[in-house]
Amino acid sequence: MTRKRFIKLCMAKGWSRNKATALARAVHTNVSYEKAMHLVDFVQFIMDTGCILAETISTFSRDVSDVLRQVLKESGGGDEA
């Protein structure tokens, strides 16, 4: 993979040109652009998964809170806030 293609693929994933160029500069001396793109894809997958997980946990937490509030209300033991 060429440096130019690597930068364009990074930009297609939402990176700024400056960040993509800086990464390409670092990659050039250590690993191939193709291997670096696999790493970029993996990191993006982990970030996306983390966002989905955080949203799911937040929704679950709200649901549990609502259920507990309802149980306390029905049992007469909770504050009516």
Question: Is residue 3 a contact partner of residue 28, using CB atoms and an 8 Å limit?
Answer: yes
Tens digit of pLDDT at every position of the chain (81 positions): 899 999 999 999 888 999 999 999 888 777 889 999 998 899 889 989 999 999 999 999 999 999 999 998 888 765 555
- The string of DSSP codes covering 11-30 is HHTT--HHHHHHHHHHHHHH
The pLDDT value recorded for residue 59 is 94
The pLDDT value recorded for residue 21 is 94
Closest of 66, 71, 69, 13 to residue 39, by C-alpha: 13
Cα separation, 17 vs 63, whole angstroms: 42
The encoded tokens of residue 15 equal 């990176």
Q: Is the dihedral of CA 39, 40, 43, 49 positive or negative?
A: negative
pTM: 0.57
